[in-house]
Amino acid sequence: MGAEEHRQRVRSIIEDPALTYRQRVYALAGAAEDALDPPAVSAACALALDKGLICDLAEGHAPYRPRYTLPDYARALARGSTFLELPPPTTFDEATTFLLAAYANVPSITGYPVWFGDLDRLLEPFAADLDDDELRTRLRRFWVLLDRLFPDAFAHANLGPADGRVVRAALGVHRDVHQVVPNLTLRVDPDVTPDDLLLEAARTIVTVAQPHLVNHPMMVADLGERYGVVSCYNALPVGGGSHTLVRLNLLEAARRHSGSAERFLDTTLPGAIALTAELMEARIRHVVEQARFFESSWLVDEGLLSLDRFTAMFGIVGLAECVEHLLLLDGREGRYGRDRAADDLAHDIVERAAAIVHALPMPHCEATGGHALLHSQAGLDSDAGFTAGTRVRVGDEPDLYRHLAAVAPNHAHLPSGVSDIVRLDETVVDNPEAVVDVARGALALGMRDVTFEVANGEFVRVTGYLVRRSEIEKVAAADAVRHSSSVLGAGSFANAGLDRRTAQRVRSHERTVGT
């Protein structure tokens, strides 16, 4: 970027009436970072980045903090913090005050914390002396502050899988306040999570499209008990996180290929993955070895983050279009989600990509055995012409049962998260029990993550985060909005045609035989 181009970028930020003060400050910091040269990579890797085969997801030219951090808040509450000058809390109010102070000092790619922790587990010990009304009043106050102080829908709070007073109060409060922050995730374990708790979650889902549901046993098998779900369905180790998230556009890889689909798996795909991995390694080394984040963070000094609890995320997008392109090269036609041959090829691509990524050594990723984790990347606001992650193309979703069966086999190979979204028609509002049944079935099929939204509802699932339709309209009118994520969501809403998602009617005896 030349000096004049840089000045124009800074000027455009300063004079943008659609940005709040804080959004301008953050954008200016990004502009300053991008005035530096990015980490050095080979000419082939730089060309792949320039042509859109791979993408650094706007992490900035000089990464100086990990993309996602998941501090060990349980340890902080138990020991207090020298940096924050706060002793261990002894009451519910002291605990929520402590957490708010900690969140304000946690770095991430968004400028806001991406993880508020396992809030039911953190707060349950402090709720014993409160009756139900007092608990709900205090929790509601805390909930409102989370949204007003950290207005970014990438900030997740985790709940479950066990039952408790705080998890039930949280689900009730979340239905009442109608906020996109915190973005809720509920861990579900068929042997631990009772049906009536899942039904309580379903009532919240049909009201505000949250919580997102996670297959807890599957996550534990891959990441251990100490994991959290942050940002866009990103599952990562607690006490650590992810240095970076770089993605590979599978459609662009397919366009560079000639020959059979089998040859794509053997030659083109490994080559594209190697270029992506090179960019990841360069960015990780910059964070750890050049910016030396882990030598200067209070979170590391107090044992809330540890380098050996970090990994990196290898994202993929455009699977649906990649499959169609490769089938045409083979002289066939087929659509992922609609045709068996297309589904089989999609599963082969994801499985092969996972094996290659797993075999590639990645520096400073000791939390996951020295390699990165494959991730179904949920897209950018500017994406057009290809489908996010490993989803079926928007508007081309088959019936509910076929849809879940098509995507479920991919989930085993995506340990750091996958973002398949199911839109249910409005009749489900009066039938939340159906959400419980579908969720149970989806998890039994092997889905790692299950996310629902309701057609024509106020809350729209973009990727792992949500936006309100009213804020999309404000962004479209060039009005400033409080949630920075709404600006990104408005772009995705328009470019990815999110309102064209097929609304699934939950059926029983009407199900078509053989589907």
Q: What is the pLDDT of residues 134-166, one digit of tens each?
A: 999 999 999 999 999 999 989 999 999 999 999
Mean pLDDT of 308-336: 97
**486, part of any domain:** no
Q: Out of 418, 440, 457, pick the residue that ends a domain.
A: 418
Q: What is the pLDDT of residues 43-60, one digit of tens each?
A: 999 999 999 999 999 999
- For residue 515, name the pLDDT band (cuts at 50, 70, 90): very low
Mean pLDDT of 469-486: 82
Q: C-alpha angle with apex 367: 363 to 369, nearest 5 degrees? A: 65
Whether residues 57 and 84 share a domain: the answer is no
Question: In this model, does residue 508 exceed pLDDT 70?
Answer: no
**436, part of any domain:** no
Whether residues 115 and 214 share a domain: the answer is yes
Whether residues 156 and 247 share a domain: the answer is no
**435, part of any domain:** no
Nearest Cα residue to 360 out of 372, 350, 349: 372
Question: In this model, does residue 507 exceed pLDDT 50?
Answer: yes
Q: Tell me what the pLDDT averaged over the chain comes to.
A: 93
- For residue 459, name the pLDDT band (cuts at 50, 70, 90): confident
Extended beta strands in 119-221, E state: 156-159, 183-188, 212-215
**126, part of any domain:** yes
**461, part of any domain:** no
- Give the span between the Cα atoms of 189 and 197, in whole angstroms: 11
Question: In this model, does residue 253 exceed pLDDT 90?
Answer: yes
- Give the span between the Cα atoms of 129 and 501, in whole angstroms: 46
Q: Please say whether the beta carbons of 180 and 205 come within 8 A.
A: no
For the chain, helix, strand, coil in percent to 5 are: 50, 15, 40
Whether residues 101 and 215 share a domain: the answer is yes
Q: What is the 3-state secondary structure (H, E, C) of 313-328?
A: EEEEECHHHHHHHHHH
Helix or strand or coil: residue 499?
A: helix
> What is the extent of the structural domain holding 17?
3-35
Q: Please say whether the beta carbons of 240 and 234 come within 8 A.
A: no
- For residue 505, name the pLDDT band (cuts at 50, 70, 90): confident
What tokens does 70 get? Answer: 């998941």
Nearest Cα residue to 462 out of 408, 398, 389: 389
Half-sphere exposure of residue 213, counting CA atoms within 13 Å on the CB side? 32
Residue with tokens 């579908």: 438
- For residue 498, name the pLDDT band (cuts at 50, 70, 90): confident
- Give the span between the Cα atoms of 71 and 231, in whole angstroms: 14
Q: What is the pLDDT of residues 339-361, one digit of tens each?
A: 999 999 999 999 999 999 999 99
Whether residues 205 and 314 share a domain: the answer is no
What tokens does 35 get? Answer: 């005035």
Whether residues 247 and 273 share a domain: the answer is yes
pLDDT reported for residue 231: 86
pLDDT reported for residue 14: 96
Whether residues 56 and 105 share a domain: the answer is no
Helix axes 400-411, 340-359, angle to 10 degrees: 20
Q: Please say whether the beta carbons of 392 and 337 come within 8 A.
A: yes
Whether residues 60 and 75 share a domain: the answer is no
DSSP assignment of 24-69 equals: HHHHHHHHHHTTSPPPP--HHHHHHHHTTSEE-TT--SS--S-SEE
- Give the span between the Cα atoms of 118 and 229, in whole angstroms: 9
- Give the span between the Cα atoms of 308 and 241, in whole angstroms: 10
Q: Measure CA 164 to chain center.
A: 26
Stated pTM of the model? 0.94
Whether residues 143 and 213 share a domain: the answer is yes
What is the tally of structural domains in the chain? 3
Q: What is the pLDDT of residues 413-450, one digit of tens each?
A: 999 999 898 999 999 999 999 999 999 999 999 999 99
User: How many secondary structure helices (H) and strands (E) does the chain include?
Assistant: 20, 16
Q: How many CB atoms lie within 10 A of CB 160?
A: 27
Whether residues 224 and 117 share a domain: the answer is yes
Sign of torsion over alpha carbons 456, 462, 466, 468:
negative
What tokens does 478 get? Answer: 């060039």
